[in-house]
Chains A and B, each alone.
Chain A
Amino acid sequence: MTTLHAEQATNKLPHEPEKATLEGRNKILGFWLFLAGEAVLFGTLFATFLTLRNQVADGPSASELFSLPITAVATLILLVSSLTSVFSIQAMHRGNVKSLLTWLTVTVLLGLGFLGLEIYEFYEYVTHYGYGMTTSAFSSSFYTLVGFHGAHVIFGICWISLLIGQVARKGLTVVTAPKIYVSAMYWHFVDVVWVFVFTVVYLLGKVVG
């Protein structure tokens, strides 16, 4: 493998290195399919939430809990992180490894910022409102839906960090390029899901009630 890497490092990479090999193309196709499955997964979670969102039992309701400024900031951070991950792919297509690494790092940092806000939010709900998993059907579906998204963010952060290390060590090759491309697809997907979370959970809860 090392010889192969060395060869590719000396040769100029193709314009779209992620699609240069059959393995790379398979990976991208397979990942699109995986995302289709993930869409069904989140769809089911959203359906569950919509069914149970007014079933608050003795606990607090959405309008008592949510604070739109915090979630709006979180949304902004996450959307910007999608933009920076686009920049990283553009850098990859230019073959600029340094710029690629910088934009990936910025993406990870923004992801961490989002995650920090979410942890703060959950902490507030649990400590100030006594609003936990067991409070009501609304709380169970809220923590499950938003928590699943949060778990996806954590996974994405770990994944992209690992890739940063790999690219720094091995450089940009036809082996690493599809991985970066696929992780960017994943990150966009997680962002799109958040747009739905923001709309369905927070706006609907706070504004419509």
Chain B
Amino acid sequence: MDWLTTVDHKKIAILYLIAGGFFFGIGGIEALLIRVQLWKPMNTFVTAQQFNELITMHGTTMIFLGVMPIIFAIMNAVIPLQIGARDVAFPFLNSLGFWTFLFGGLLLNLSWFMGGAPDGGWTAYAPLSSTTYSTTHGVDFYTIGLQIAGLGTLIGGINFLATIITMRAPGMSFMRMPMFTWTTFVTSAMILFAFPAITVGLVLLSFDRILGANFFNVAGGGNPVLWQHIFWIFGHPEVYILILPAFGIISEVVSTFSRKRLFGYSSMVFATILIAFLGFMVWAHHMFTTGMGPVANALFAIATMLIAVPTGIKIFNWLFTMWGGQITFNTANLFAIGFIPTFVMGGVTGVMLGSAPADYQFHDTYFVVAHFHYVIVGGLVLGLFSGLHYWWPKMFGRVLNETLGKIEFWTFIIGFHLTFFLQHFLGLVGMQRRVFTYLPNQGFDLMNMLSTVGAFLMGVGVILFLVNVVITARKPVGVENDPWGDGRTLEWAIPSPPPEYNFKQLPLVRGIDAYWKEKMAGNKEMTPAEPVGSIHMPSPTIIPFVMSVGLFIAGLGFMFTTDDFGNSFLNFLFNNYIVVIIGLGITFGSMIVHSLYDDAGWHIEPEEIDGKGAEA
């Protein structure tokens, strides 16, 4: 019950981690099933229809329900601590964002048990996603589930923006913010401008499917290319929404474990903003073969390649940070160092794909699959593992086992390269993506088999991480503030795990890497910026949970409005929008209740502060 009503950002972080980890597991199992199907030619492990459902759900689950929430978990756990704040700007919305994500994700995955999962690919291109070609309710689960989950992401983005703008500790100017805070800030801005586009796209697609609208139906005057534009004007920035937080994590980890200040801090900030800006300018490079014409193709090709410049700045800055540093090769840093060459490889194939004429050759082959897995798994997932190992002691008060961590790293990265390095060549020799099987003796057989072996090796790596988590959980809580000894930013100045109120007194920030600066000046802790006083805390509330349940019910009701259940009562309920109205009634009713009863919160008085110890 405590967990259903919490508005504490540290607990919400743990909720995001558990839920995101759960969906990451589901997405991983889907990936392994795909690889089992492809391990030999003419395999009949799954049918073509099941294969379509698997690839659609693997992509959708991993991007929206797996890695995004784990990013949000780390942001929630770390950002308020890094900027020296007691909480986020809107604790209520923080909780709402989590619950809408969870119920959206559950709705999407319910499709497996309710007549078929979405099968139009994770991009849901019209007309493949129209009722003509996708006859189950799968795509309805996709549009409505993602809609509800996307709402949560948007709320989270706005919350982090407001938090970082208004709640930084005294003395922390924008150019003194830690790099992870910067990337979170820029990522949140990208979420704000990218997600409303997919919101509209999903509305249009569900109207086409459920209300018989004609947006993408050519017979009624609609235009399927419109879907591609709307999808990618969101979808391309989404790629950077995923990778920028990983850049931030790598910047923190590399600099901490090199015992050096991040090289070129201000150029890193500038590069981050530039990447975000360019990320919005290049969406149509996903559509070179759609038939936009040579001028559009050339412009989008050039804009795409420009992104290599700020990304290159980042790569070199990480290398220069390590240059001459006292490097500690622990698990967190191994993942960070492993990230750098892996991501460079993904970037290089990105430039190759960004060349429009070459893209005609690579289009819809495994070369593309290899490229984006190098970026998303080799970039983001390695970044997330690095961040989790790095901040685990701060979140849970226990350090993850190092030996196991190193085995985990080597298993995962060897498995990863075995799986996806080969897929570049599979693509170059002509294997198409999205097909459920292939003929023998075309040069695909051995590489596919090895690729499957690699995928299972990655699975072993992830399981080892889980084993590590379980083993660590048995150890007692009790690491000091700064278990690495080299912590540079504010989160390491307070106990692990932090008390409910984070900072007893807000710290005074006197430079970049505020905590390191104090340590070098011989101080044991941060100089406080305020006297000890009573601390205002927000009250826990069940309303966000209830609101999300309402949306879940409304979404389910909406997609079955035109169905015949063969039962007059059910038909009456669904076909007259009664279920939708009940669901929305719950949601709006909760909003009204929330607005009528002002939450005054509660206070932790100075004499109680030391008693309120660590939790979670």
**A138 contact set on B, CB distance < 8 A:** 221
In the complex the two chains form, what is the Cα distance from A184 to B171 in whole Å?
Answer: 34
Q: How far is the CB of A149 from chain B (nearest CB, A)?
A: 13
Is A25 part of the binding interface, using a Cβ–Cβ cutoff of 8 Å? yes
> Out of B90, B197, B215, B220, which one reaches A40, CB within 8 Å?
B197
Contact B214 A44 (CB under 8 A): no
Let me know if B207 and A26 touch, CB within 8 A. Answer: no
B211–A134 touching, CB < 8 Å: yes
* Of A26, A40, A144, A179, the contact of B213 (CB 8 Å cutoff): A144
Out of A29, A33, A47, A144, which one reaches B203, CB within 8 Å?
A: A144
A45 at the interface (CB under 8 A from B): yes
Of the four ranges (under 10, 10 to 19, 20 to 34, 35 or more), the interface on chain B belongs to 35 or more
Q: Which of B200, B214, B600 contacts A134 (CB 8 A)?
A: B214
B222 at the interface (CB under 8 A from A): yes
In A13-69, which residues have CB < 8 Å from any B CB?
22, 25-26, 29-30, 33-34, 36-38, 40-41, 44-45, 47-48, 51-52, 55-57
A162 CB-CB contact with B under 8 Å: yes
B195 to chain A: which residues have CB within 8 Å?
37
Is there a chain A Cβ closer than 8 Å to B521's Cβ? no
- Which chain A positions have C-beta within 8 A of B212? 133-134
Nearest CB to that of B193 among chain A residues?
A: A40
Decide: A55 near B600, CB < 8 A? Known: A25-B166, A30-B89, A133-B213: no
Q: Is the CB of B158 within 8 A of A34?
A: yes
Q: Is the CB of A56 within 8 A of B221?
A: yes
Q: Which of A25, A40, A135, A166 contacts B196 (CB 8 A)?
A: A40
B221 adjacent to A48 (CB under 8 Å): no
Shortest distance from the beta carbon of A143 to any chain B beta carbon, whole Å: 8
A19 to B194, CA, bound (A): 29
Q: Across the interface, do A44 and B201 meet the contact criterion of CB distance under 8 Å?
A: yes
- Given known contacts A41-B196, A48-B230, A179-B595, is B221 in contact with A29 (CB within 8 Å)? no
Q: In the complex the two chains form, is A29's CB within 8 Å of B162's CB? A: yes
Closest A residue by C-beta to B229: A47
Q: Which chain B residues in 145-201 approach chain A with CB under 8 Å?
A: 154, 158-159, 161-162, 165-166, 192-197, 199-201
Beyond A26-B90, A40-B193, A56-B221, whether A137 also contacts B215 by CB under 8 A is: yes
* Distance of A39 Cα from B431 Cα, bound (Å): 42
A208 an interface residue at 8 Å Cβ cutoff? no
Interface of B is mostly: helix
A38→B214 contact, CB < 8 A: no
Cβ of B193 and Cβ of A37 under 8 Å apart? yes
- Interface size for chain A: under 10, 10 to 19, 20 to 34, or 35 or more residues? 35 or more
Give the docked Cα–Cα distance between A21 and B570 (Å). 50
* Chain B hits for A175, CB < 8 A: 598
Q: Which residue of B lies closest to A176 (CB)?
A: B598
Which interface residue of B89, B192, B221, B598 has the most chain A CB atoms within 10 A?
B221
Q: Does B226 contact A (CB under 8 A)?
A: yes
Contacts of B358 in A (CB 8 A): none
Partner of B204, one of A48, A134, A135, A166: A48
A1 CB–B CB distance under 8 Å: yes
Say whether A55 contacts B223, CB under 8 Å. Answer: yes
Query: Do A30 and B197 touch (CB < 8 A)?
Result: no
In the complex, whether B596 has a CB less than 8 A from a CB of chain A is yes
Contact partners of A47 in chain B: CB under 8 A: 230
Chain A residues closer than 8 Å to B197, beta-carbon distance: 40-41, 44
B289 at the interface (CB under 8 A from A): no
CB of B215 within 8 A of CB of A48, answer yes
A 136-191 contacts with B by CB, 8 A = 136-141, 144, 162, 166, 175, 179
Nearest to B217 among chain A residues (CB) is: A137
Within 8 A of B (CB), among A101-148: 133-141, 144
For this complex, 8 residue pairs linking A to B, each with C-beta atoms less than 8 Å apart, are A1-B598, A1-B600, A29-B166, A30-B161, A41-B200, A52-B215, A57-B214, A140-B204
Beyond known contacts A52-B221, A137-B217: 15 more, CB 8 A cutoff = A1-B600, A26-B90, A30-B90, A30-B161, A33-B192, A44-B230, A48-B215, A48-B230, A55-B222, A133-B211, A135-B220, A136-B214, A137-B223, A141-B215, A144-B203
Counting from the closest, the 5 A-B pairs by CB-CB distance are: A55-B221, A137-B221, A140-B213, A41-B196, A40-B196
